[in-house]
Amino acid sequence: MTVVRDAVKAALKAQTIETPSWGYGNSGTRFKVFAQPGVPRTPWEKLDDAAKVHEFTGVAPKVSLHIPWDRVDDYAALAACAKERGLELGAINSNTFQDDAYRLGSVCHPDAKVRRKAVDHLRECVDIMDATGSTDLKLWFADGTNYPGQDDIVGRQDRLAESLAEVYERLGDDQRILLEYKFFEPAFYTTDVPDWGTSYAHCLRLGPKAQVVVDTGHHAPGTNIEFIVAFLLREGKLGGFDFNSRFYADDDLMVGSADPFQLFRIMHEVTKNGGLDPASKVAFMLDQCHNIEAKIPAVIRSVMNVQEATAKALLVDLDALTAAQRDGDVLTANAVLMDAYDTDVRPLLREVREEQGLTPDPVAAYAASGWQERIATDRVGGEQAGWGA
Ligand SMILES: [Mn+2]
């Protein structure tokens, strides 16, 4: 049992969770963005906040950027700044949804000039990756239609494939495309990449440097996300996660808050099928908005929620599970899984943190650090970061 416990601890120490730069900025609902004191005004200040999350959790060394929200003149300098803070720049997220030109879509737009603009932006994102050392280009397209007959479904797929191929060509040897899907919104009739199957088919055609990213909030209610995860891992096509949780639509709430059991089931498939092995290159990213809650503690809480689900998944007795499955013992197989889920892993994680020289309680340590008060005092004037370019 000690051997198992040591292996679980080692895996938890090795896991990294990437936090999103936009999670530190102001965000909101369709109705109102609530500004909070101390919110970063620049990408540099976002890195300062991300560094705090890493300081107290020890497992969040990477930060995803979003272009143009994180546009700077010198990306190499931003990467150097990250490094000074013990961080690395992670996935570059493109934006082909906030320009007037994209009313009818971006890479699937019927007008070649608009598609050109979108593809040029995506290629510019790869230039930025070259400067920052980022390996992942995360693509989410708002493309779709609102009305039957508005555009040709197959024609849009053809344009998507052509656009993606041009971006794929631009990738360096160590770079990859992570193609995200979302079943609806902002388009309400058809979405051009609505589900994992569409993303998978395009990635398969593109080649080994294209993989699917699973945003946990981008599914219809009742979708079995862990099945998708297991399938993609088996095919070597799971690039990573955008973690968040949802009650209704794409709610972008803290991962593990709405349905911790679902997160455990997902992490069970990940741990069981090699997805925690760094060689698998599965990226554990957060994609969340903290609209009414304090942002930095919410990111810390989210990182801890992923760790807790991972710890429980690692505690599943796979030998007993396999034996029960082989014997067709339905109840025992289910009980083995539930035993792990019902384990309180918080003491184990406190131990892990102490062994890493970290504080056992990151939320309390952050609250006591004075950082929140300091940024509220220091970050006055200027424009707080948000969804605007
Ligand atoms: Mn996402």
Q: Could you identify the residue written with the tokens 């979108």?
A: 118
Rounded to an integer, what distance in angstroms lies between the CA atom of residue 357 and that of residue 373?
25
Give the pLDDT of residue 345.
98
36 found inside a domain: yes
Task: Work out the average pLDDT over 144-162.
Answer: 98
What is the 242 CA–ligand 1 centroid distance (Å)?
5
pLDDT for 180-206, tens place per residue? 999 999 999 999 999 999 999 999 999
What is the 212 CA–ligand 1 centroid distance (Å)?
12
Question: Phi/psi zone of residue 180: left (φ > 0), alpha (ψ -120 to 50 degrees), beta?
Answer: beta
User: Is 2's pLDDT higher than 90?
Assistant: no
* CA Rg value for the chain: 21
What is the 254 CA–ligand 1 centroid distance (Å)?
13
Expressed as residue numbers, the domain containing 161 is 15-315
Where are the alpha helices (H) located in the chain, listed in sequence order?
Answer: 2-14, 43-57, 75-84, 112-132, 153-170, 196-206, 225-234, 260-272, 295-314, 318-326, 330-341, 346-355, 362-369, 371-378
User: Is 179's pLDDT higher than 70?
Assistant: yes
Q: What is the DSSP pairing of strand 62-66 with strand 88-93?
A: parallel
29 found inside a domain: yes
Q: Are 282 and 270 in contact (CB under 8 A)?
A: yes
What is the 369 CA–ligand 1 centroid distance (Å)?
31
The two structure tokens encoding residue 304: 């801890």
What is the 119 CA–ligand 1 centroid distance (Å)?
19
Rounded to an integer, what distance in angstroms lies between the CA atom of residue 269 and that of residue 109?
37
CATH number at residue 144: 3.20.20.150
Q: Are 148 and 154 in contact (CB under 8 A)?
A: no
- The identity of residue 40, as a single letter, is P
What mean pLDDT is reported for the chain? 97
What is the 193 CA–ligand 1 centroid distance (Å)?
13
What is the 110 CA–ligand 1 centroid distance (Å)?
25
Task: Work out the average pLDDT over 112-134.
Answer: 98
374 found inside a domain: no
What is the 103 CA–ligand 1 centroid distance (Å)?
20
What is the 299 CA–ligand 1 centroid distance (Å)?
15
Q: With cut-offs at 50, 70 and 90, classify the pLDDT of residue 30.
A: confident
Give the pLDDT of residue 1.
66
Give the pLDDT of residue 234.
98
- Give the helix/strand (H/E) hosting 62: strand 62-66
356 found inside a domain: no
212 found inside a domain: yes
Give the pLDDT of residue 374.
98
6 found inside a domain: no
What is the 241 CA–ligand 1 centroid distance (Å)?
8
Q: Are 151 and 104 in contact (CB under 8 A)?
A: yes
Other CB atoms within a 10 A radius of the CB of residue 110 amount to 14
What is the 97 CA–ligand 1 centroid distance (Å)?
13
78 found inside a domain: yes
Number of structural domains in the chain: 1
Give the pLDDT of residue 275.
98
What is the 327 CA–ligand 1 centroid distance (Å)?
40
User: Is 156's pLDDT higher than 90?
Assistant: yes
What is the 7 CA–ligand 1 centroid distance (Å)?
31
What is the 239 CA–ligand 1 centroid distance (Å)?
13
Sheet of 136-139, strand order: 19-20, 62-66, 88-93, 136-139, 176-180, 210-215, 238-243, 283-286
Long-range contacts of 114-117 (CB under 8 A, 24+ apart): 115/159, 115/162, 115/163
Give the pLDDT of residue 388.
67
Percent of the chain with pLDDT over 90: 96
Rounded to an integer, what distance in angstroms lies between the CA atom of residue 212 and that of residue 197?
9
What is the 78 CA–ligand 1 centroid distance (Å)?
23
Give the pLDDT of residue 29.
81
Rounded to an integer, what distance in angstroms lies between the CA atom of residue 304 and that of residue 285?
13
Percent of the chain with pLDDT over 70: 99
The two structure tokens encoding residue 266: 């997902």
Strand partners, 238: 212
368 found inside a domain: no
What is the 287 CA–ligand 1 centroid distance (Å)?
5
The two structure tokens encoding residue 203: 């990635």
Residue partners of 37: CB distance under 8 A and separation at least 6: 375, 376, 379
Q: Is the pTM of this model over 0.95?
A: yes
Other CB atoms within a 10 A radius of the CB of residue 115 amount to 21
pLDDT for 297-311, tens place per residue? 999 999 999 999 999
The two structure tokens encoding residue 229: 């995860």
Q: Are 136 and 125 in contact (CB under 8 A)?
A: no
- Assign 382 to helix, strand or coil: coil
